[in-house]
Amino acid sequence: MKFAYRSIGIIHSPFKTTKGIPIQPAGAEAIKGTIHIYPEYVKGLKDLDGFSHIILLYHFHLNRDSKLIVVPFMDSRPHGVFSTRAPCRPNPIGLSVVKLRKIKGNILEIENVDILDQTPLLDIKPYVPEFDQFPADRIGWLEEVRGMVKDKKSDSRFD
């Protein structure tokens, strides 16, 4: 089955190329960005300003190929793409949780941004600890590289 989605706005960030981006919001503390929501969707932002954190779903727009086996930024061994957060997925949808600082009209000021400049936004959802936090006790291959995420930066391997 095929689905057609369209962007609801554009994410702006200091990251102009795929190199040197923090690989998760956990490593992007204090990095600021903005989201420009297209005017036709602004009504949907009502009450969002009450939330300190929001979930962004977006399209990895500089990703070219989809690969099923990848060597992720945090490891030197190959893994199945669904066991990684690599951008080269069959459906290149990215997910980041960012801090929401302020909403002014159609512009959202956000923080902890690990997203490339000019990224097309697909959806915003409120981040709610009661919905979104789970006591995961096994994190697979990431167990061995734990603690590395805060310092690790992207390179251009998925361009």
Query: Is 120 a binder of a second copy (CB under 8 A)?
Result: yes
Per-residue tokens: 62: 């500089």
Q: Which of 32, 34, 48, 106 binds a second copy (CB under 8 A)?
A: 48
- 32 binding a second copy? (CB under 8 A): no
| Contact string 100-119 vs a second copy (x = CB under 8 A) | --------------------
- Using a 10 angstrom Cβ sphere, with 0-12 exposed, 13-18 middle and 19 or more buried, the burial of residue 140 is exposed
Q: Confirm if 147 and 139 have CB atoms less than 8 A apart.
A: no
CB of 86 to a second copy, least distance (A): 10
Total residue count of the chain as it appears in this document: 159
CB 40 within 8 A of CB 9: no
Report which residue type is found at 59.
Answer: H
- Note the residues at the interface with a second copy (CB under 8 A): 1-8, 24-26, 41, 43-53, 55, 57, 59, 68-69, 78-85, 89-91, 93, 95, 97, 99, 120, 122-134, 136-143, 146, 149
